[in-house]
Amino acid sequence: MAKQSFESKIKKLEEIVSKLDDEDTDLDSSIALYEEGLKLSDELKKQLETYKERIANIEANNNE
């Protein structure tokens, strides 16, 4: 499986939220979507932390 970009993960999470907001989504689907959304959210948090570290390193190296 190809690595998804940060932006594509955000878009997918937005789609999941939209489906969860749809009252026509059945309970089983909602639970599966919720689980997928939590997984994506965790991945995004980790990716943001990595970006923060990279930026801090760039700034530190720039200030030397």
Instruction: Give me the pLDDT at residue 53, please.
Output: 96
Instruction: Give me the pLDDT at residue 2, please.
Output: 59
Classify residue 2: in a domain, yes or no.
no
Classify residue 12: in a domain, yes or no.
yes
Classify residue 52: in a domain, yes or no.
yes
Instruction: Give me the pLDDT at residue 1, please.
Output: 47
Give me the tens of pLDDT residue by residue for the chain, a chain 64 residues long.
Answer: 457 899 999 999 999 999 999 999 999 999 999 999 999 999 999 999 999 999 999 999 988 7
Classify residue 1: in a domain, yes or no.
no
Overall residue count recorded for the chain in this entry: 64
In the chain, how many domains are there?
Answer: 1
pTM comes to 0.81
Provide the domain limits for residue 25.
7-62
Does residue 6 contact residue 44 with C-beta atoms inside 8 Å? yes
